[in-house]
A and B are shown apart, each in its own frame.
Chain A
Amino acid sequence: MAIDRKTVEHVAALARLGLSDEEKDRLARELSGILDHVADLSRWNTDQVEPLYHILPIKNVTRDDAPARSGVRDDVLQHAPKSRPPFFAVPNVLEE
């Protein structure tokens, strides 16, 4: 299927990805080519086939919901782009 620039812009917004005009045009072209190739899958009838998410015969694993200390808070904050210990710092998201 052909992907147009509008679709590229919509998908980029969903992915929080800033793209230049040149990138948008190139991606429209490249994604169209890749989707043409994957369209081949429609040849196979899968009406009676269950999706295979992964191959493991194991169920989800849960652990006890018990608090524990990570012991790495200061390390983590030290390597953050911006922090105000004990917090990460981000631009203001609330109205003044």
Chain B
Amino acid sequence: MIPTLTAAEMADRVRSGDLRAAEICEARLAHIREHDPAVRAFVTVMEPEALKAAEEVDLRRKSGVALSPLAGVPIALKDNLCTRGVETTCSSKILKGFIPPYDAAVVERLRAGGSPFLGKTNLDEFAMGSSTENSALFLTRNPHDPDRVPGGSSGGSACAVAADFAPLALGSDTGGSIRQPAAFCGVVGLKPTYGRVSRYGLIAFASSLDQIGPFARTARDAALLLDAIAGPDPRDSTCLPDPPPAFAQALDRPFEKIRVGLPKEYFGEGLTGPVTSALDRLKSELKDLGCELKDVSLPHTSCAIPVYYLIAPAEASSNLARYDGVQYGLRVETKDLIQQYFKTRSEGFGREVKRRIMLGTFALSSGYYDAYYLKALKVRRLIYEDFMKAFADVDVLLTPTTPTPAFRFGEKVADPLQMYLSDIFTISANLAGLPAISFPCGFDGALPIGAQLIGPALSEGRLLRIVHEYQKNSDWHLRRPRLARRDASRVGTAA
């Protein structure tokens, strides 16, 4: 019974006393022990910490203290979020053994609200990748098909929700790293507006693009988690000062007529047949719900990947300069300090991270800055203006989240450009700072298909309400994978 409960239901039962938080937590941990050896969503399982937090919630309830909305609901955290006293690896060798002395802002808020943390989830090293194959630790398998990738970079968090290890998980999204794995794993994934959620304690990748957001099975659960993490934080100067609205509470407000734009650039060649038909069906279902569909154009869509692969690596090359072996993480000892930097970074970073540091350093280097980095920033504005023009006519945009369902292990690792292109529909929202949500809207055989809604800045509430309304009238989000019990090393390539 417990595995099929949503986060909202778990929270209600803990509050009413029908279930103890410790029971819920123990059941999830048992499920993880049984099935995570095949999926490998977790880098670290925080069993004792989670149980202790759950027991504290039960004590608080007994003593009559009012519980916060997510008290007792277990959650999985992407391993690029700092957790006090618990190793935080970013799935990189260079951070192996790094034990943060502080919590990320989102972790701190959830901890105070009584969320037991089940563990830290696997990712592409430093969140750079689209399949979690770039983890320096191990591969994570798509629960719907163990021969396929879970997407990335937040692959472990998407799997944790898809496999019912946790009803909720947090990820980070720089170019699609929440929405693309959500689509591949058949769950809801939301990237909030840039500035909506504090990034204090999120290990930085590309600071003008990174944003933390929720994974969940339902729009309601995603809204509850966003409620818990959104809001101003003086420790992150890019965090907006506006207090956020109550997202979960607004879900059941009457559903007004919404104008949904269909950007033609997102429905062209490259989509597989099943993705096209799932989106066609979704369009007519949205019409039935009272949405008005309208064709629109975002003419600079094809620029998104080139712009992103200049800006994100440029920012990354600067952010990752801090890994020098002096203060924390890996150090390769040499007699000379400069040599120590070279050796530590050479051994500590994986192939994709080196590639991006090189690309970013090049784009920022003297003689190339104007032609590459500055040019990308200018075209970024053209992409942003495309959206502003579209939102003069429509309330949200509907697109596929990805051109294809989950691909096989090894299919794209040899060619970095092919891997980059799998983010083709998700990157623009990061460049323009807009909120965007992916939700399941069909299947291709055993493989989930995701649809994406992109809205104007601060329109998370609208996105969540549309998905909530859709989920009241569909059951794609309730289709669960049949989990294997076998050992993960049997199939596919090894990291």
Interface residues of A (CB under 8 A from B): 3, 7-8, 10-12, 14-19, 23, 27, 30-31, 33-35, 37-38, 40-42, 44, 46, 49-56, 58, 60-61, 63, 72, 75-76, 79-82, 88, 90-93
Contacts and interface: CB of A to CB of B under 8 A. Distances in A.
Interface in B411-425: 416-417, 420
Given A37-B305, A38-B309, A44 B340 contact: no
B78 interface: no
A88 B346 contact: no
A8 B334 CA distance: 24
Interface in B326-371: 326-331, 334-338, 340-343, 345-346, 349, 354-355, 357-359, 361-362, 365
B348 to A, nearest CB: 10
User: For chain B, what secondary structure do more than half of its interface residues adopt (helix, strand, loop), or is it mixed?
Assistant: helix
B334 A91 contact: yes
Interface of B: 97-99, 101-102, 194-195, 208, 234, 237-238, 240-241, 300, 302-303, 305-307, 309-310, 317, 321, 324-331, 334-338, 340-343, 345-346, 349, 354-355, 357-359, 361-362, 365, 372, 374-382, 384, 416-417, 420, 432-433, 457
A52 B384 contact: yes
Contacts of A91: 334-337, 340
Given A17-B345, A30-B355, A76 B381 contact: no
B241 A49 contact: no
A27 B377 contact: no
B211 to A, nearest CB: 11
Nearest to B194: A55
A37 B419 CA distance: 13
Contacts of A88: 326-327
Contacts of A75: 101
Given A44-B303, A52-B377, A80 B433 contact: no
Nearest to B387: A55
A88 to B, nearest CB: 6
B378 A51 contact: yes
A54 B433 contact: yes
In the A-B complex, the 6 residue pairs with the smallest Cβ-Cβ separation, listed nearest first, are A18-B346, A55-B433, A51-B377, A81-B331, A46-B378, A75-B101
Nearest to B432: A55
9 contacts: A11-B361, A16-B321, A18-B342, A19-B346, A27-B355, A38-B309, A58-B241, A79-B98, A88-B327
